[in-house]
Chains A and B, each alone.
Chain A
């Protein structure tokens, strides 16, 4: 039994899951981003050589650092929300407030970090 989805890509992209769906998909993107990065990072430091140097040059780049910090920070904060709501199911009543709280924690921490990363990249 294979998958059967009679939904076009454009319809899929217009799926209106809104706030909870946004955190779900960003959690997934963050998770895959970290899995790919950490795998390459471990292999690069194990194998070394030219490939290792190239990988190093990529992930020491400030743009990549902003991306991977987004992956890590969003996955961590969203994961903490999921963990708290799942382990204390009574709090599920406030799941929408939890998502607002999550963004209230994520945005300032990520914003300040991006400023610091760009500042350092510009030679600060």
Chain B
């Protein structure tokens, strides 16, 4: 009964705001990262990781499918590991992970910074930090 009643309210009256959206984003991006890591893991096994890499190297590749993570392994030819598909998968993982992580840092900062001015500064710094890490990360992934 309450359910039908609350649906008559507008989204903002039901508490929908940026923070609520980010709350949802944190959960959905977690599922997204699970999917991307699983894709990287399955891809590594298809490309021969079982006989050519040790456990730590497979983990390293799974958490960021970038070709530099397989260069010190027994993989004879890294060309398939350097394809456009893996660059796009790595870029997607970077974008999702940086957004998820920087938002997490803002949540932690909010536990210790109570003034609205301080929170504004924390948010501004987090946006600068996020854009810097995305820029550097994309440069590394796309040029390696």
Q: Give the B-binding residues of A (Cβ under 8 A).
A: 1-3, 28, 31-32, 34-35, 38-39, 42-43, 45-46, 65, 69, 72, 76, 79-80, 82-83, 86-87, 113, 116-117, 120
Check if B55 sits within 8 Å of A120, measured CB to CB. yes
Can you list 10 contacts pairing A with B, beta carbon distance less than 8 Å?
A2-B115, A3-B114, A31-B105, A42-B133, A46-B140, A79-B30, A116-B55, A116-B56, A117-B56, A120-B55
Q: Give the A-binding residues of B (Cβ under 8 A).
A: 27, 30-31, 34, 54-56, 59, 63, 68, 97, 101-102, 104-105, 108, 112, 114-115, 133, 136-137, 139-140
Check if A42 sits within 8 Å of B140, measured CB to CB. yes
**A83-B30, A83-B31, A116-B55 given as contacts; is B136 within 8 A of A31 (CB)?**
no
Contacts of A43 in B (CB 8 A): 136
Check if A46 sits within 8 Å of B139, measured CB to CB. yes
Q: Is the interface of A mostly helix, strand, loop or mixed?
A: helix
**A1-B114, A28-B108, A46-B139 given as contacts; is B63 within 8 A of A39 (CB)?**
no
Check if A72 sits within 8 Å of B27, measured CB to CB. no
Known: A2-B115, A76-B34. 19 other contacts (CB 8 A): A1-B114, A1-B115, A3-B112, A31-B101, A31-B108, A32-B105, A32-B108, A35-B102, A38-B101, A46-B136, A46-B139, A65-B56, A72-B63, A83-B30, A86-B27, A87-B27, A116-B55, A117-B55, A120-B56
